Amino acid sequence: MRNVLTPGMRYMLLGTFLFSIGSLLIKVAGERVPTMELLFFRGVVGLGFCYTILRRSGVSLLGHRRLLLATRGLVGFLSLFTEFYALVHLPLADATAIIFTHPAVVALLAWAVLGERLGRGGIMAVAASLAGVALVCRPGFLFGAGGTDLDPLAVSVALGGVLVTALAILSVRALAKTEHPAVVMFYPPLLIVLFSPLFSGGWVMPTPGEWACVAGIALAMNAGQYYMTRGYAIESAARISAVTCLEMVFAAMWGITFLAEIPDTWTLAGGSLIVFGVLLLGREGQREAEAQSAA
């Protein structure tokens, strides 16, 4: 039987699946283990992973544009913290839906800051994603008494995380022209390992089951990042968007199966709009790339 998935799509599918497993384990371990502690262990493994790659390639650990790399590390640290916090304090499907809107924010920032073109399809995609977030979060000033019962602080942290994630992605794009990919990946876990102990509100000794979750988080999310990076390098934006949208499907499946979290109609409707927006952005990017190559 002929494989319908390209190599890049297979990498993305594996990376997306591993990320969804990591998200589930964050939710489970985060019931007792502090967020900063989970983040620290994730950073330790990520640091070792990047260090090994850089040593084998003979590339300098600290790179060339060190101020921008440090900025990338800071926003990466904040992005991961907000993601972990949202996953722990919100239902898995809702947290994933909010986090998943970062492509729309990237498109907006790239248009506003970098002067990149945002066509009609891009505008529709951003509008659909933002409408999807509104349906998932259901703020009281829009929905009145029908607003959501989600933790307001967790929702605010998740929305702030979307912004810093978008900034992290833009910084990666700026650094990719001059820096080795592993150097760019090296800075966020470096800052996590250095600073997360300073901001923790007290650590706990994990139980054997929690240690298994901690190890699973570190391994699944770092391996997921590796495979997704390989997918990004060889696959078109439209196909990548189609595959990464499965992360929301996985999140809903794990929430139903393991956490007894049943997404309500609002979450399903909002998530569908967000998926539509991501797919539309991917298709718009593919059309622009084809137009440039034909010129």
User: Coil, strand, or helix at residue 103?
Assistant: helix
Helices vs. strands in the chain: H and E counts, helices first: 13, 0
> What count of other Cβ atoms lies within 10 Å of the Cβ of residue 155?
22
Sequence-ordered alpha helix ranges (H) in 90-151: 92-99, 102-113, 120-137, 140-143
Joined tokens for residue 195: 């600073």
Report the alpha-carbon distance of residue 71 to residue 167 in Å, rounded: 10
Tokens standing for residue 262 = 């049943």
Please state, in angstroms and rounded to a whole number, the distance separating the CA atoms of residues 236 and 44.
32
For 24-68, the DSSP string reads: HHHHHHTTTS-HHHHHHHHHHHHHHHHHHHHHHHT--SS-S-HHH
Burial 69-94 (b: 16+ CB within 10 A, else e): bebbbbbbbbbbbbbbbbbbbbbbbb
CB within 8 Å of 99: residues ≥ 6 apart:
83, 86, 158, 161, 162, 165
Paired tokens of 91: 């239902």
Q: Give the Cα separation of 137 and 56 in Å (integer).
A: 45
Residue 20: predicted pLDDT: 94
Residue 1, pLDDT score: 39
Averaged in consecutive runs of 10 residues, what is the pLDDT profile of the chain (295 residues)?
Answer: 68 91 95 92 89 84 86 92 94 91 85 80 87 85 66 92 88 80 86 88 90 94 82 70 82 92 90 87 74 64
Residues 237, 103, 168: CA angle, nearest 5 degrees: 105
Q: How many CB atoms lie within 10 A of CB 58?
A: 7
Q: 289, 235 in Cβ contact below 8 A?
A: no
pTM above 0.85, yes or no: yes
Environment class of 15 (CB within 10 Å of its CB; exposed 0-12, middle 13-18, buried 19+): buried
